[in-house]
Structure 1
Amino acid sequence: MLEILTSDRIAARHGFFTRKGGASSGIFAGLNCGTGSSDQADVVMINRTRAAAALGVPVTALVTVHQVHSATAVAVTVPLDERPMADALVTATPGLMLAVLTADCQPVLFSDAKAGVIGAAHAGWRGAMDGVLEATLDAMETLGARRADIVAVIGPTISQAAYEVGPEFFERFTDNDRATSRFFAQGRGDRMLFDLPAYGLHRLREAGVGHAEWTGHCTFADAERFYSYRRMTHKGEADYGRLISAIRL
């Protein structure tokens, strides 16, 4: 049985899927939808097919990109034969299911119900800092959306308590903008704790969206429901699964 987290603020059909209800086994146990993982390709396809069916579309209508931690957003009107290198998608075409894959980074789903425009973004710290969220909004506007009418929801992502970083990471942010120091808390020794979802919400609100929220789920803290790259590294495992977050008109 699939477990799908949703937001009452998004009118379009959508879901932040947990790892429950998938066909993968071993370290990937559950709904691993990452074609870039070392999981069996046919099993990953079964999982992606299940996710698409849950939102009422065939897997052929599932559109993803080759995620590269960029600030690139692409508009799509038909299913893609090849995945472009980008980290966000937008569309105004009914029947297409836009999806991003994450395992600690922020999955962000966007909807302008008035204009009939949706979007999905993969926003890790680098993508968020470089402007992938704003790029998604820009791309939605080219299709007729208005920022004041856009709802943006951040799904399961790593929380501040689990996101320990070094001083060079802190300096990368604060050298560019001293005000970003408020997204860091003191950790052990010279370590800092970074609040990725708070930073994402800040960027969204500063960009002028009508509403922005985080579901409040931490990928690192809940191994039964979520995959986590950082938890994988702490445990010394060879690979990790990818969660799928998707939206469709």
Structure 2
Amino acid sequence: MTLEILTSDALAPLRHGFFTRKGGASSGVFHGLNCGTGSSDQAEIVHINRTRVAEAMDTQLDQLATVHQVHSADVVVIEEPHTGDRPRADAMVTRTPGVILGILTADCQPVLFADPQAGVVGAAHAGWRGALDGVLEATLDAMESIGAKRGNTIAVIGPSISQRAYEVGPEFLDDFLAEDVDNSRFFIGGKDDRMMFDLPAYGLHRLRNAGVRDAEWTRHCTYSDPDRFFSYRRATHAGEADYGRLISTIRL
């Protein structure tokens, strides 16, 4: 099956992609393009999937840089892909041509950044915790440290869980209100004491407040489209033992 790669006109002509689960070699609950080395999928199958991604990005697997994601606001500057242990971080930036930045998600926001004028790109994993703690702003800071300007930077949020599928409890809301009472705008009432959280809208708010030139969401919900996307929350609701990870990539 052919890979399905979602792209954004805003990031053109840079080579980039939000890969769906289609076109991969994995089976069972991982059926499709599972790129998560931290999953319980067969390592050799994940290797095949990641190789297909690198080829789709017109390079080799050894040029794919990923990090050990920990829901932090930490960012690393990549000059060349790591050959040893991956750094613990949730975002990367580079100005090195040919290096692919790859972020793994399964409901959290994958965010691709580019300042085409400066020749700097970035990629961030922004779940609710990372976004609240400032991973998007930290990515922009790191891009500026290697020559980018946020006023020239484009940011695109890829497939993420949407508000209609993201039920949270009152303590979750409290964390956001403690940061800014105006964050209440990203919540609507759910059943009983539950709330529904709009993660992509919150991500766009943080990006626009940070001063990017343009920010958009592809408007794909990971939870609601099982044929195309992996979803941690959907797998949990279904009682599945594990779940696949989507990959989103960008390169100069």
Q: TM-score, normalised by structure 1?
A: 0.99
Q: How does 1:1-40 map to 2 (within 5 A)?
A: 1-11=2-12, 12-40=14-42
Superposed CA offset, 1:173-196 (max 9, x none)? 112210100000000110000000
Cα distance in 1, alignment partners of residues 116 and 246 from structure 2: 25
Superposed CA offset, 1:22-58 (max 9, x none)? 0000000000000000000000000000001001010
Q: How does 1:105-124 map to 2 (within 5 A)?
A: 105-124=108-127
Shift of residue 79, structure 1, vs aligned partner: 1.2
Corresponding residue to 2:191 among 188, 193, 218: 188
Q: Do residues 100 (structure 1) and 100 (structure 2) align?
A: no
Cα distance in 1, alignment partners of residues 125 and 147 from structure 2: 22
Cα distance in 2, alignment partners of residues 85 and 55 from structure 1: 24
Superposed CA offset, 1:110-131 (max 9, x none)? 0000000000000000000000
Give the paired residue count: 249
Q: Do residues 167 (structure 1) and 170 (structure 2) align?
A: yes
Cα distance in 2, alignment partners of residues 237 and 151 from structure 1: 37
Corresponding residue to 2:49 among 27, 47, 50: 47
Q: How does 1:133-152 map to 2 (within 5 A)?
A: 133-152=136-155
Which secondary structure does the structure 2 equivalent of 1:9 belong to? helix
Cα distance in 2, alignment partners of residues 129 and 39 from structure 1: 31
Which secondary structure does the structure 2 equivalent of 1:79 belong to? coil
Q: CA RMSD in A?
A: 0.5
Shift of residue 15, structure 1, vs aligned partner: 0.1
Q: Do residues 66 (structure 1) and 98 (structure 2) align?
A: no
Cα distance in 2, alignment partners of residues 137 and 113 from structure 1: 14
**Amino-acid identity (%):** 70
User: Relative to structure 2, which stretch is displaced further, 203-212 or 166-175?
Assistant: 166-175
Q: TM-score, normalised by structure 2?
A: 0.98
Superposed CA offset, 1:135-182 (max 9, x none)? 000000011100010000000000000000000101111122101000
Superposed CA offset, 1:45-76 (max 9, x none)? 00000001001010000000000000001101
Which secondary structure does the structure 2 equivalent of 1:90 belong to? strand
Cα distance in 1, alignment partners of residues 121 and 140 from structure 2: 10
Cα distance in 1, alignment partners of residues 179 and 146 from structure 2: 32
Cα distance in 1, alignment partners of residues 125 and 236 from structure 2: 20
Which secondary structure does the structure 1 equivalent of 2:131 belong to? helix
Cα distance in 1, alignment partners of residues 190 and 95 from structure 2: 44
Which residue identity is paired with 1:148?
G
Structure 2: which 5+ runs fail to align?
Answer: none
Cα distance in 2, alignment partners of residues 57 and 104 from structure 1: 27
Structure 1: which 5+ runs fail to align?
Answer: none
> Which 4+ residue blocks in structure 1 deviate beyond 4 angstroms?
none
Cα distance in 1, alignment partners of residues 142 and 44 from structure 2: 33
Which residue identity is paired with 1:9?
A
Aligned to 2:221: 218
